[in-house]
Amino acid sequence: MLTKIGLLGYGNVGAGVARLVKTEAQLLDDKLGWPLSLVKAVVRNLSANRGFASDPGVLTTDPHEVVGNPEIQVVCELMGGIEPARTLILEALSAGQHVVTANKALLATHGIEIFKKAAEANRDVMFEAAVAGAIPVIRTLKEGLTANRIQSLYGILNGTTNHIISRMSKDALTFQEALAESQAAGYAEADPSSDIDGLDAAHKLVLLSALAYGVLPRLEDIHVEGISLLEPVDFAFASEFGYVIKLLAISCLHDGHGPLEVRLHPAMIPSGHLLAGVNGVMNAIMIRGHASGDIFLSGPGAGMMPTASSVVGDIIEVARSHLSMASTLRPPLLGWRNLKAEAVMPMSEALLGYYLRFAVLDKPGVLSAISGVFGRHNISLAQVIQKGQDPRTGLVNLVMLTHRALERDLQAAVAEARKMETVGDTRLIRVEESL
Amino acid sequence: MLTKIGLLGYGNVGAGVARLVKTEAQLLDDKLGWPLSLVKAVVRNLSANRGFASDPGVLTTDPHEVVGNPEIQVVCELMGGIEPARTLILEALSAGQHVVTANKALLATHGIEIFKKAAEANRDVMFEAAVAGAIPVIRTLKEGLTANRIQSLYGILNGTTNHIISRMSKDALTFQEALAESQAAGYAEADPSSDIDGLDAAHKLVLLSALAYGVLPRLEDIHVEGISLLEPVDFAFASEFGYVIKLLAISCLHDGHGPLEVRLHPAMIPSGHLLAGVNGVMNAIMIRGHASGDIFLSGPGAGMMPTASSVVGDIIEVARSHLSMASTLRPPLLGWRNLKAEAVMPMSEALLGYYLRFAVLDKPGVLSAISGVFGRHNISLAQVIQKGQDPRTGLVNLVMLTHRALERDLQAAVAEARKMETVGDTRLIRVEESL
């Protein structure tokens, strides 16, 4: 058993897919039960520089070495744009190939034609990578929340605009300053209009709405408003009102009937909301299901490897389906063929920061004695605060934050400090800096 | 084609599953392509009061009307506990039935035996509902992030303790006060030890670690520490350091080798982190994949309908697999058999709050004239701020927040205000209060 893949397009994401399939071959084989093989990748120019070198003989300029090639079961369309992507996908489906694509513009404008063809051909069209990069939002809407009537979707679906907005919000930059910075950092393109005018996010909103409500909104019906009119003063006022500003993609159903409300525009949202904490190039989606309640997803919305992560996830899923046509149960995907119990690292070897609180007698020499104990155990202190005398006991809180230390050393030091006559009640809470 | 389901246990979650299968029958049929039918539900006491009335003849006290019943393809185990759940699940798998379960304690302690039996029997054991309620974290680890080497997991996996901690943090309650409040609200049980000592979250951490790393940690090896020693003063100090305290479930792999680090204890985390914003009974998980980057998921971690949402999602998935054994492509789950383009609600009918900023001449009567315009268009103002004179133009910012109003009325009022001689530059940003 072997699943053979062909790529249409070998740019950033294509090279990421090639890298994952090659460097994680063992991992993927373990999970699926058989290997994946990238056999052909279609490029416009054989000599261009790639992000990941392909095996000899893989690159070709002829798309029909992939599309319609009976050796290849899965066609990954990563070239973008409407044509020739549309025609090639339709041809691949007609030829009995499954399709994985990251092409949101194509699906948002020609989705009906493509999904109809897929249904006729009894083949899959998978597109997790088309919306929100590595975030598994397509899978969540299709599978995890299948049993729900979806009531609303709120999304931050474009990383470039969210980066610009985050910079305007944090450092009071003007739109032009933040855009220039974002271009210099490689997030915004030289012609940034598809991002900043909201079109890219609107394509994604159309796809999410179709998955959520089973209705494909027409792009031209949607109110789409970009971010170029935002000014620093608006961010300042938003903050006074307890809001932050985000470019928000919104769709909702009113009481389950009437037309769908779909719109995309800058919006003020309460600063305590999870969506308000999504900054920089991150994407996020909040989905309200009638049974599930509010499900919030966030993560990298773009980039070579995050997008490739979703493309390869889809390839694996298609590979399972394609086996299922051979009348066997799909592989379990758990890599648990030989699951066995294993010991974990002893807690004593954990390397962590610590918050320590000692109730101590408020007298000279106590701090020096305790910090001496920690020094002898190779624990270095980041901060020390002493305050808050308890009127009943006369004890004060001596609070210390440590740099990273071995749990074993820390416990030894705490045990030693606890034995001191000047030290009473003690508390230890670990600090997770590496989150 | 019909998929028949049997329930073991008809408590809160069981009744939620029965309700979803019955009230959303059309939705589920549309997605799957054929109906689900709940044919039997095993209860201990036929006359006990249920959250959702079953059809006549469905309730039974004999588990073998479900387990081993050749009519029933999918057995949902929702009784909890180790026995008889373990024996019944093993029997169901041996009899060729698929299993959906929410039983984290059973899988964390007897998972190897159960998954081995499932592999032998070529049947599925699905358990999305066993971890983090409606959040599709099992599916995300199994499928969405399949192509990743998982580097770390950080989770808030117990809603009761997170509710207690949130109350202690927000209102400086003691642990005992917050626990009592949580019990009165129905979140914490009369005997809350499994939650507050961390055992419930540890079971979930074992399952997530197994999915992420393909290794089942032994529960007894894991450092598990509950929340009962936390005091208000620690929350106050945490805040001074820029941290919040959470009961955190953690597992990580060091450079892909060496034993797994797995631990569960109260931890301080930076207050700006998304996990820090997860309050009340919510759950959340941050998964770091080598390709995907950090993927963050949050939502309701428990409750009748959120848990039922995950159980029914798994039933649908099993129903698709079980069809796949009949040598046909799995149904696409999109409900897109008749996908067509549809108009969305016109933007003019949106009912929203608005932030409006007018650059106005700083002279008497301007505010009254503008607010008069809004009054005539039935728009009620929630707040008005006037400040920030521009030294070049002499204009001041008049900022207004409206209550919810029709976009059509709002645009008409803004257009009228813009025509006033005293009004210059104008900005409008919508406010999403219903997030």
* Interface contact flag, A268 B355, Cβ < 8 Å: yes
pTM, entire model:
0.90
Write down the pLDDT at residue A327. 42
Q: Using CA atoms, how far apart are residues A366 and A370, in angstroms rounded to an integer?
A: 6
Assess if residue B159 is contained within a domain: yes
Write down the pLDDT at residue B320. 80
Beta bridge partners of residue A396, listed in sequence order: A360
B128 touches chain A (CB under 8 A): yes
Residue A185 and residue A315 in one domain? no
A244 touches chain B (CB under 8 A): no
Please tell me chain A's helix, strand, coil percentages from 3-state DSSP, rounded to the nearest 5: 40, 25, 35
Whether A289 and A149 have beta carbons less than 8 Å apart is answered as yes
A26 touches chain B (CB under 8 A): no
Residue B317 and residue B292 in one domain? no
Residue that finishes a domain, picked among A292, A324, A356: A324
B339 touches chain A (CB under 8 A): yes
CA distances, A382 to each of A378, A379, A405, B240 (Å): 13, 10, 11, 14
Mean pLDDT of chain A: 89
Residue A141 and residue A193 in one domain? yes
Residue A144 and residue A106 in one domain? no
Q: Is the peptide bond before A84 cis (omega within 30 degrees of 0)?
A: yes
pLDDT band (50, 70, 90) for residue B253: confident
Which tokens sit at B353? Answer: 């709050």
A170 touches chain B (CB under 8 A): no
Residue A315 and residue A244 in one domain? no
Residue B70 and residue B173 in one domain? no
Q: Which H/E stretch holds residue B423?
A: strand B423-431
* Interface contact flag, A210 B260, Cβ < 8 Å: no
Q: Is the peptide bond before B84 cis (omega within 30 degrees of 0)?
A: yes
CATH number at residue A213: 3.30.360.10
Q: Using CA atoms, how far apart are residues A7 and A52, in angstroms rounded to an integer?
A: 14
Residues of A marked as catalytic: 204
Length of chain A: 435
Whether A162 and A279 have beta carbons less than 8 Å apart is answered as yes
pLDDT in tens, B47-70: 776 777 778 889 999 999 999 999
pLDDT in tens, A74-110: 999 999 999 999 999 999 999 999 999 999 999 999 9
CA nearest neighbour of B206 among B221, B218, B220, B224: B218
CA nearest neighbour of A133 among A282, A313, A306, A295: A306
Assess if residue B333 is contained within a domain: no
User: A-chain residues within 8 Å CB-CB of B245?
Assistant: 429
Question: One of B4, B40, B204, B246 is an active-site residue; which one?
Answer: B204
Q: Using CA atoms, how far apart are residues A39 and A355, in angstroms rounded to an integer?
A: 54
Whether B207 and A400 have beta carbons less than 8 Å apart is answered as no
Which tokens sit at A128? Answer: 């997790």
Q: Using CA atoms, how far apart are residues B264 and B227, in angstroms rounded to an integer?
A: 10
Q: Which H/E stretch holds residue A85?
A: helix A85-94
From the list B214, B259, B293, the residue facing A345 with the nearest CB is B259
CA nearest neighbour of B146 among A31, A20, A324, A15: A31
CATH number at residue A31: 3.40.50.720
Per-position DSSP letters for B54-81, written without gaps between them: PPTT-EES-GGGTTT-TT--EEEE-S-S
From the list B139, B299, B337, the residue facing A139 with the nearest CB is B139
Assess if residue B334 is contained within a domain: no
Assess if residue B76 is contained within a domain: yes
If DSSP codes are grouped into helix, strand and coil, which group holds residue A158?
A: coil
The residue that leads in pLDDT, A131 or B272, is: A131
CB neighbours (10 Å) of residue B135?
Answer: 31
User: Containing domain of residue B243, as a range?
Assistant: 137-302
Top residue of A169, A334, A411 to mutate, by most chain B CBs within 10 Å, is: A334
User: B-chain residues within 8 Å CB-CB of A30?
Assistant: 214
A405 touches chain B (CB under 8 A): no
Whether B20 and A291 have beta carbons less than 8 Å apart is answered as yes
> Minimal Cα–Cα distance from B394 to chain A, Å?
16
The DSSP call for residue A331 is P
Count of A-B CB contacts under 8 Å: 414
Largest CA-CA distance found in chain B, in angstroms, rounded: 85
The residue that leads in pLDDT, A202 or A322, is: A202
Q: Are strands A351-361 and A395-402 parallel, antiparallel or unpaired?
A: antiparallel
> Minimal Cα–Cα distance from A365 to chain B, Å?
23
Beta bridge partners of residue B216, listed in sequence order: A341
From the list A144, A303, A357, the residue facing B136 with the nearest CB is A144
What is chain B's Cα-based Rg?
Answer: 27
Residue A310 and residue A294 in one domain? no
Residue B252 and residue B286 in one domain? yes
CA nearest neighbour of A405 among A369, A364, A366, A433: A433
B255 touches chain A (CB under 8 A): no
> Minimal Cα–Cα distance from B418 to chain A, Å?
17
A263 touches chain B (CB under 8 A): yes
Number of domains in chain A: 3
A394 touches chain B (CB under 8 A): no
Q: Which residue's entry shows tokens 């004999």? A: B62
Residue A386 has pLDDT above 50, yes or no: yes
* Interface contact flag, B312 A147, Cβ < 8 Å: yes
The DSSP call for residue A296 is E
Length of chain B: 435
> Minimal Cα–Cα distance from A181 to chain B, Å?
23
* Interface contact flag, B340 A258, Cβ < 8 Å: no
CA nearest neighbour of A37 among A10, A9, A74, A70: A74
Largest CA-CA distance found in chain A, in angstroms, rounded: 85
Assess if residue B128 is contained within a domain: yes
B298 touches chain A (CB under 8 A): yes
Query: Counting Cβ atoms within 10 Å, is residue B259 exposed (0-12), middle (13-18) or buried (19+)?
Result: middle
* Interface contact flag, B270 A296, Cβ < 8 Å: no
Give strand ranges (E) for A43-185. Answer: 59-60, 74-77, 98-101, 125-126, 150-156
CATH number at residue B426: 3.30.70.260
Whether B125 and B99 have beta carbons less than 8 Å apart is answered as yes
* Interface contact flag, A135 B295, Cβ < 8 Å: yes
A270 touches chain B (CB under 8 A): yes
Query: Counting Cβ atoms within 10 Å, is residue A255 exposed (0-12), middle (13-18) or buried (19+)?
Result: exposed
Q: Using CA atoms, how far apart are residues B238 and A92, in angstroms rounded to an integer?
A: 58
Query: What is the mean predicted confidence (pLDDT) over A46-74?
Result: 88
Residue B167 and residue B222 in one domain? yes
pLDDT in tens, B207-245: 999 889 888 888 888 999 999 999 998 899 899 888 999
Residue B281 and residue B148 in one domain? yes
Residue A330 has pLDDT above 60, yes or no: no
In chain A, the residue whose alpha carbon lies closest to the alpha carbon of B294 is A299
If DSSP codes are grouped into helix, strand and coil, which group holds residue B268?
A: strand
* Interface contact flag, B221 A112, Cβ < 8 Å: no
* Interface contact flag, B292 A269, Cβ < 8 Å: no
> Minimal Cα–Cα distance from A306 to chain B, Å?
4
Residue B84 has pLDDT above 70, yes or no: yes
If DSSP codes are grouped into helix, strand and coil, which group holds residue B285?
A: strand
From the list A154, A342, A432, the residue facing B269 with the nearest CB is A432
Number of H helices, E strands in chain B: 13, 19
First to last CA, chain A: 40
Residue that finishes a domain, picked among A302, A334, A357: A302
User: B-chain residues within 8 Å CB-CB of A297?
Assistant: 295-297
Assess if residue A336 is contained within a domain: no
User: A-chain residues within 8 Å CB-CB of B266?
Assistant: 429-430
Write down the pLDDT at residue A158. 96
A415 touches chain B (CB under 8 A): no
The residue that leads in pLDDT, A322 or A97, is: A97
Cα–Cα–Cα angle for A257, B52, B303, rounded to 5 degrees: 80
pLDDT in tens, A230-263: 999 889 989 988 899 999 999 988 775 678 889 9
* Interface contact flag, A292 B303, Cβ < 8 Å: no
Give the up-direction half-sphere exposure of residue A268: CA atoms within 13 A in the CB hemisphere.
24
pLDDT band (50, 70, 90) for residue A155: very high
Top residue of A344, A395, A411 to mutate, by most chain B CBs within 10 Å, is: A344
* Interface contact flag, A147 B335, Cβ < 8 Å: no
Residue that finishes a domain, picked among B292, B324, B356: B324
Residue A29 has pLDDT above 90, yes or no: no
> Minimal Cα–Cα distance from A189 to chain B, Å?
22
Q: Which H/E stretch holds residue A264?
A: strand A261-270
Residue B336 has pLDDT above 80, yes or no: no
Whether A25 and A317 have beta carbons less than 8 Å apart is answered as no
Query: What is the mean predicted confidence (pLDDT) over A11-35?
Result: 91
Residue B128 and residue B28 in one domain? yes
Per-position DSSP letters for B297-324, written without gaps between them: EEEE-S-HHHHHHHHHHHHHHHHHHHHH
Q: Using CA atoms, how far apart are residues B151 and B149, in angstroms rounded to an integer?
A: 6
A291 touches chain B (CB under 8 A): yes
* Interface contact flag, A237 B336, Cβ < 8 Å: no
pLDDT band (50, 70, 90) for residue B327: very low
> Minimal Cα–Cα distance from A410 to chain B, Å?
15
> Minimal Cα–Cα distance from A71 to chain B, Å?
19
Residue B357 and residue B208 in one domain? no
Cα–Cα–Cα angle for A213, A216, A219, rounded to 5 degrees: 130
B267 touches chain A (CB under 8 A): yes
Mean pLDDT lowest among A431-435, B104-108, B122-126: A431-435
